[in-house]
Amino acid sequence: MTLRPISFNPTFALLAFALLLGTQPPGLEAQAQTLPKVHLVATGGTISNRTGGRLTAEELAKSMPGLERFATLSFEQFANVASSQLTLEQWLRLARRVNELFASDKELAGIVVTSGTDTLEETAFFLHLTVRDPRPVVIVGSMRNPSTLGYEGAANLLEGVRVAAEPASRDKGALVVLNDEINSARDVQKTDAVRLQTFRSREYGQLGVVDSDRVVYFRQPVQRHTARSEFDITNVKELPRVDVVMVYQGAPGDLIKAAVDAGAKGVVIAGAGAGAISGTQNEGLDYAAQKGVFIVTSTRTGSGRIAAPRSQQPATAASGNSTTTPNPAQERRRQFTIAAEDHAPLKARVLLMLALTSTKDRAEIQRMFMEY
């Protein structure tokens, strides 16, 4: 019988020796404790709105049972107000802060932002377009406050941390996590005033779920966002005013005129059906175009796509040997009208504000609505 030499494995030997001694070998304890780094940015909202005083970022961080299993968490207090009280200037500062955090810490797995739910979908979409990093920024909130029976804030927050720490969350843009569900900031809408399952992504459906065993994704957003976004707000001091006007039977055009006179650079029309308007709104839209104000046509229905015209050439109608000269007001309006594609009115407003920080070219803005 031939005896073969046994190769010596130092790591194996160290592990065996440590087991015999009943101790853990050097380095293994540190390896076991290596967890993804996640940073919490608290802005307020119902999730922190405790009777007698709002919960701080530190208190929110301490409210999550089992956090130590999923991530190493750091935190900061950006604001502590209702979401509807966040200003556009704070939006800009928040996006800049998230970008700064990612740029300064390459080891950071993701960022969680707390927000009130009333305007969460708008804040989330703004971050979806202005955070220029592939790592996830996860927006969480709660429908019940900390003093209410059934408060779900701690659970939503822990799930948000898990999503932010999950490698599969990269390259999906800003994510909204509530009620065990992951939705894209681009598509999600608040659909019920009080129910926990309020956030829905229209007919597109959720991106994934947060279950007890793992984070699971079912689909991937394909429109441009975050790392592929062209919107750089580093030096943007102020977002241009854009107003949303609803279409309803007999709606007056003077509301559009008032918005224009008050300084609006854009108007989003929440149209009936596939973009129909009513009352004297045509006059208001003609007035807006005359003043160089951009008009985005969207739908108030909650879903559906408003397509851009195939051609922006002046319209003529031939009948025999006669040609109808285009109406100058209608032609002027074409030059300032953009189709919202499938963006809901609130999301169209956010996108138009950002578009107007970089261009006043109608074709370029239309391109942005088609790509984002």
Q: Which residues are catalytic?
A: 46
CB 181 within 8 A of CB 163: no
R_g of the chain, CA atoms, integer Å: 26
Query: 3-state DSSP call for residue 113?
Result: strand
Query: 3-state DSSP call for residue 122?
Result: helix
Task: Name the β-bridge partners of 242.
Answer: 266
Residue given tokens 């005083």 in the structure block: 53
- Give Cβ neighbours of residue 25 (< 8 Å, ≥ 6 apart): 14, 15, 17, 18
The amino acid present at 29, given as its one-letter code, is E
Scanning 105-253, the segments in alpha helix (DSSP H) are 120-130, 153-165
The amino acid present at 142, given as its one-letter code, is S
CB 253 within 8 A of CB 280: yes
Estimate to the nearest angstrom the gap between the alpha carbon of 119 and the chain centroid. Answer: 11
Starting at the earlier edge strand, list the strands of the sheet with 208-210: 72-81, 37-44, 108-114, 137-140, 175-178, 181-184, 208-210, 215-217
Quick one: which of 186, 236, 238 has its CA closest to 348? 186
* Angle, alpha carbons 85-86-92 (nearest 5°): 165
